[in-house]
């Protein structure tokens, strides 16, 4: 019999969470100033990100993803950030000491491509919030407005060692809208509780088959020609929108200088500052701002480099075209997603400093995904590019360490020297760079947030599982202690006796009953 206390379906884990007086958002320590907004309207991360006790992980194999692999060393966390890595560290007063002998510690895994929370489980139409498929260009849409932080798939991803993910709109549209980078913290009640502090927004774009399939029988685009024309039109309008606002800001600055002066340029005056009728000239009228357009505003921030472009694109020729289009309008593509033909233009991607977020061995399910190879990530890496292993799957996200292992060994089989550190960076440092958060996470470097995973063994072994997962140095998953926490799994109890067999229906009862 389960030892878990039964609870009414009407009383969810979140109601219990509130009942335990844990509902208030976590507050920074009193000695940390409130983070100030930066120019993009985001918030800067404070130096101290946790007021929990220091933690010292002892005697682990530590893979830093920054080049160093310590076969037996310690890792110290203070204030939610990594304080030191190396052998023989001393535990500060009050520290929690974690015996990690025989274990491996890595940075937390970062997934650049997930729809968890906007395509939540169970897969009901009512949970389908990833594609605003109402027009080819929905740059005004934002994934954060459809994100459900109670999606039970988040628990599963966290148990796979994933601490951070980019949540993207789907790929039905040429421009699907803004992505949001979230942390897989437990007990979140809104997207504001889990947004990565200071992370820039992304822009989801999609070329190829999807937009022309979705809109081909509507107003278009119907062809790849129409796709590129749609992108060109959108960014041209964004440039003109930005030009209109630049003129307004200039005119307003001039008005501020002249508003108290009689007889301005807009109100010419006669001799000695008098108006045409001999009276003092009137001050100029204050310029009125243009109408605000949230879609064009988003694209304008792309042109300024404040929003990072993530482009769903499979074929080498289309990726090349998109690089050319981006150069024409003066922006960068941060990462091509799926990119099964990245190996064909690995040199171009490296030269453009554009990453490729790819699968290890998933292709062939439609025409544009036909020409994939196992060595894709390794060949891009060998050319000096940034390889990233992503999931685009609520099940694949649970085993990204194994996906990276497959891609690593495929490269080694053809003679490419892929080190364990290189392959780990495909899951941590490179995706952190692609999301614009590499100054905070991605490597076990002193000063960075203590987002880390304690693995049962080599993370590239099929026998290894994540045993402990930490965000900001605080445990968010401990295998064997953190039972599944969603109402979909209330009856789950791995130690319970098997249920009694179902008794057959007596033969004397009518089948109609």
Question: What is the pLDDT at residue 284?
Answer: 77
At 375, list the tokens.
């060595």
What gap in Å lies between CA 90 and CA 140, rounded to an integer?
52
Which residue in this structure is represented by tokens 């009518």?
A: 510
Rounded to a whole number, what is the distance in angstroms from the first to the last CA of the chain? 31
Joined together, the tokens standing for residue 337 give 């997603």
Residue 266 is predicted with a pLDDT of 47
Of the candidates 508, 442, 366, which has an alpha carbon nearest to the alpha carbon of residue 111?
442
Please say whether the beta carbons of 166 and 112 come within 8 A: yes
Q: Give residue-wise pLDDT tens across range 340-358.
A: 999 999 999 999 999 999 9
Express each pLDDT in 411-462 by its tens digit.
Answer: 999 999 999 999 999 999 999 999 999 999 999 999 999 999 999 999 999 9
Place of tokens 């907004």: 37
pLDDT at position 18 over 80? no
Q: Mean pLDDT of all residues in the chain?
A: 87
Residue 36 exposed, middle or buried by CB count within 10 Å (0-12, 13-18, 19+): exposed
Specify the pLDDT at position 492.
Answer: 53
Hey, where are the domains in the chain? 14-107+443-489, 109-226+294-434
Question: Is pLDDT above 70 for 71?
Answer: yes
For residues 442 and 364, what is the distance between their CA atoms, to the nearest angstrom?
31
384 close to 417: Cβ distance less than 8 angstroms = no
The more confident residue out of 271 and 311 is 311
Task: Compute the average pLDDT of residues 258-272.
Answer: 59
Q: Is 490's pLDDT higher than 70?
A: no
Q: Name 22's Cβ contacts closer than 8 Å, sequence gap at least 6.
A: 187
Q: Among the CATH numbers 3.40.50.10860, 3.20.20.140, 3.40.718.10, 3.30.365.10, which is that of 109-226+294-434?
A: 3.20.20.140
> What pLDDT score was predicted for residue 505?
45
Q: What is the pLDDT of residue 49?
A: 86
Which residue bears the tokens 């100029």?
A: 284
The whole-number pLDDT of residue 498 equals 60
Provide the percentage of residues in the chain whose pLDDT is more than 70.
Answer: 81
Residue 253 pLDDT greater than 70, yes or no: yes
Q: Model confidence over 381-413: pLDDT tens digits?
A: 999 999 999 999 999 999 999 999 999 999 999
For the residues 115-136, what does the mean pLDDT come to? 95
Per the document, the length of the chain is: 513
> Is a pLDDT exceeding 50 seen at residue 4?
no
Top CATH class, 14-107+443-489: mainly beta
The whole-angstrom distance between residue 68's C-alpha and the CA centroid of its chain comes to 26
User: Stretch 223-237: mean pLDDT, rounded?
Assistant: 98
Q: Using 50, 70 and 90 to split pLDDT, how confident is the model at 480?
A: confident
Q: 44-48, 166-170, 202-206, 479-483: lowest mean pLDDT where?
A: 44-48
Alpha carbons 340 and 360: distance in angstroms, whole number? 9
Grade residue 29 by pLDDT with cuts at 50, 70 and 90.
very low
Instruction: Round to whole Å and give the CA distance between 279 and 273.
Output: 8
Place of tokens 């320590």: 29
Is the pLDDT assigned to residue 9 strictly greater than 90? no
Q: How far apart are alpha carbons 137 and 204 in whole angstroms?
A: 10
- Tell me: pLDDT of 512 over 60: no
pLDDT at 27 over 70: no
Confidence of residue 43 (pLDDT cuts 50, 70, 90): low
Is 47 a residue whose pLDDT tops 70? yes
- Spacing of C-alpha 318 from chain mean position: 24
- For residue 513, name the pLDDT band (cuts at 50, 70, 90): very low
User: How would you label 335-364 residue by residue, b for 16+ Cβ within 10 Å and e otherwise?
Assistant: bbbbbbbbbbbbebbbebebbbbbbbebbe
CB 334 within 8 A of CB 310: yes
Give yes or no for residue 226 having a pLDDT over 90.
Answer: yes
Over the stretch 166-199, which tens digit does the pLDDT of each residue have? 999 999 999 999 999 999 999 899 999 999 999 9
- Span of 87-96, 124-133, 305-314, 480-489 with lowest mean pLDDT: 480-489
């Amino acid at each position: 019999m389960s030892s878990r206390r039964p609870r009414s379906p009407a009383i969810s884990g979140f109601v219990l969470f509130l009942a335990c007086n844990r509902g208030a958002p976590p507050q920074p320590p009193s000695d940390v100033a409130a983070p100030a907004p930066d120019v993009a309207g985001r918030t800067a991360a404070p130096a101290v990100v946790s007021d929990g006790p220091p933690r010292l992980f002892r005697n682990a194999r530590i893979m830093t993803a920054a080049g160093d692999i310590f076969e037996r060393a310690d890792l110290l966390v203070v204030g939610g950030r990594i304080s030191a890595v190396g052998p023989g560290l001393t535990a500060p007063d009050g520290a929690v000491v974690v015996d990690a002998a025989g274990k491996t510690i890595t940075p937390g895994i970062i997934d650049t491509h997930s729809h968890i929370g906007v395509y939540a489980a169970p897969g009901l139409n009512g949970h389908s919030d990833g594609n605003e498929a109402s027009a080819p260009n929905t740059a005004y849409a934002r994934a954060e407005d459809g994100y459900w932080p109670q999606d039970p798939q988040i628990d599963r991803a966290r148990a796979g060692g994933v601490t951070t993910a980019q949540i993207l709109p789907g790929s039905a549209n040429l421009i699907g809208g803004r992505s949001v980078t979230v942390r897989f913290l437990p007990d979140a009640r809104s997207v504001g509780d889990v947004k990565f502090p200071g992370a820039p927004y992304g822009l989801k774009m999609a070329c190829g088959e999807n937009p022309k399939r979705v809109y081909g029988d509507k107003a278009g685009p119907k062809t790849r020609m129409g796709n590129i024309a749609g992108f060109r039109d959108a960014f041209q309008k964004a440039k003109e929108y930005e030009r209109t606002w630049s003129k307004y800001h200039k005119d307003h600055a001039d008005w501020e200088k002249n508003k108290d002066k009689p007889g301005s340029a807009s109100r010419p005056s006669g001799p000695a500052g008098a108006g045409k009728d001999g009276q003092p000239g009137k001050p100029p009228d204050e310029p009125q701002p243009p109408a605000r357009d949230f879609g064009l505003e988003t694209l304008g921030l792309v042109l300024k480099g404040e929003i990072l472009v993530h482009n769903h694109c499979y074929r080498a020729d289309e990726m090349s075209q998109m690089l050319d289009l981006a150069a024409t309008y003066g922006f960068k593509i941060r990462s091509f997603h799926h990119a099964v033909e990245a190996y064909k233009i690995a040199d171009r991607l490296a030269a453009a400093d554009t990453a490729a977020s790819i699968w290890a061995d998933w292709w062939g399910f439609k025409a544009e995904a036909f020409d994939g190879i196992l060595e894709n990530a390794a060949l891009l890496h060998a050319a000096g590019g940034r390889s990233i292993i992503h999931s685009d799957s609520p099940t694949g996200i649970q085993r990204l360490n194994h996906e990276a292992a497959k891609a690593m060994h495929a490269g080694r089989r053809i003679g490419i020297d892929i080190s364990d550190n290189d392959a780990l960076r495909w899951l941590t440092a490179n995706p952190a760079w692609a999301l614009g958060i590499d100054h905070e996470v991605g490597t076990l470097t002193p000063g960075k947030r203590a987002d880390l995973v304690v693995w049962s063994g080599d993370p590239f072994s099929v026998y290894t599982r994540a045993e402990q997962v930490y965000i900001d140095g605080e445990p968010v998953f401990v295998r064997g202690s953190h039972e599944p926490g969603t109402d979909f799994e209330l009856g789950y109890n791995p130690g319970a006796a098997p249920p009694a067999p179902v008794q057959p229906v007596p033969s004397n009862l009518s089948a109609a009953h």
